[in-house]
Amino acid sequence: MPFEKQRITGRTMDFEKKPDAAYVYFMPRGEDYVPQWVRDALATADIYLYKPEKKNLYSFVGAANEFGIAGLNHTQTRIFADGLNEKGISVSMQWLPDSKFPYLQSDANKDNRLFLNWYMASYILGNIASLDEIPGLFAGANPTFKVFEIDHLFGKAVSLPFHFNVQDAEGNSMIIEFEGEPGAERGAVKLYDSRDAANPFLKASGALTNYPFYSEQVADYELFLNNHKGISPVNKEEEPGQPQEVNGSGLLGMPGDGTPVSRFARTHLLMKTVYTNPESDMDAVGAAIQMLGNIAVPIGTIAPFDEPTEVGDSTLWSAVRDHKNLKYYYYDQHNNQLRMINLAELVNETAIKSIVLELKGNNDWYYDTTSELKS
């Protein structure tokens, strides 16, 4: 959000609904970025993962998804889709089909331990205090991040292609993607830094959606702007015969569908908000929640082409991050009551803790004010 005093960011998580699909965790300092049982399970398939000399330097909170990966039946794989660490760094992991990574699954062995893309958010949250540290992870002939994606596991095909949006407490962003030429097996990392003058749209909003790749999203958005000159939150001038200026007319033509391209454009346009100086943190968080509501995908508004009566992807949960006060807010699809974790109060805790991120209603999904109206 483009606020002058607060540093607030947020995201929606859009996926097909599954039981126990997500957990909210507190991760203390000194933990491995990959659960040991996952390392052991993958080793039985001759997949050996990078293991740093030191374990996590920083504590963090965040939401981890359960993707129902073949052969990994444990309910808590700790594949973090989102989080905020004690240094004010957040990471959002999002789906990006057609990603191509520098290394292949066949490259991974005991003597060449590679970095699994599933756990990039976890590693960054636990070990990165500044965006300036990220390029070095991929640099040189023998980088820290020899990133690969698992394509088969225990006889079944697997595909979890991701890109990442990393944001700091100063209002900067860095997008991490892995892209290759058509037909190529391997790709290369691409970094987009909001501090680079070549990325004005990233600086303006820090926004990222899913496919296509960021460079293509920007090109599509530039084309949209060329076709909608002057589109902005400012109402168009009152026309003759109208009783007043039409509220919202400045953003007339803003796309409203649930495609990633439209949501990318909509996010950038809404981030032109003239509301830049909230009086309180509550006001700032509330404004961020309103923004996310405009990006969210309502349940039942997307159905697969070959299963037209089935519910497809929708917004399962949303998170709002206060980078300066280290507060992590979240709410889910059927329980919009805002929940908050104050990381500042947890930084010295030493045990992993988790909460099921409810994806169904419970007894606390509303506050009953009936008694306040009784005589």
Instruction: Walk me through the domains of the chain, giving residue ranges and CATH numbers.
Output: 8-199+278-364 (3.60.60.10)
pTM over 0.95: no
Beta-bridged to residue 93, according to DSSP, are 164
Question: 368 vs 80, 304, 371, CA distance in Å?
Answer: 34, 38, 8
All residues at 6 or more sequence positions from 298 whose CB lies less than 8 Å from its CB, including other chains = 314, 315
Residue 41: what pLDDT? 87
Residue 58: what pLDDT? 97
Q: What span, in angstroms and rounded, lies between the C-alpha atoms of 41 and 363?
A: 38
Q: SS3 for 214?
A: helix
- In 3D space, the residue among 64, 1, 73 whose CA is nearest the CA of residue 31 turns out to be 64
Residue 69: what pLDDT? 64
Q: Which residues of the chain have pLDDT under 50?
A: none
Q: What span, in angstroms and rounded, lies between the C-alpha atoms of 14 and 302?
A: 11
Residue 235: what pLDDT? 92
All residues at 6 or more sequence positions from 208 whose CB lies less than 8 Å from its CB, including other chains = 92, 94, 163, 165, 175, 214, 217, 264
Residue 145: what pLDDT? 87
Residue 167, H or E segment:
strand 162-167
For residue 293, which phi and psi values (nearest 5 degrees)? -60, -30
- Long-range CB contacts (within 8 A, 24+) of 276-283: 276/2, 276/3, 276/4, 277/3, 277/4, 277/5, 278/3, 278/5, 278/6, 281/6, 281/322, 281/325
Residue 73: what pLDDT? 57
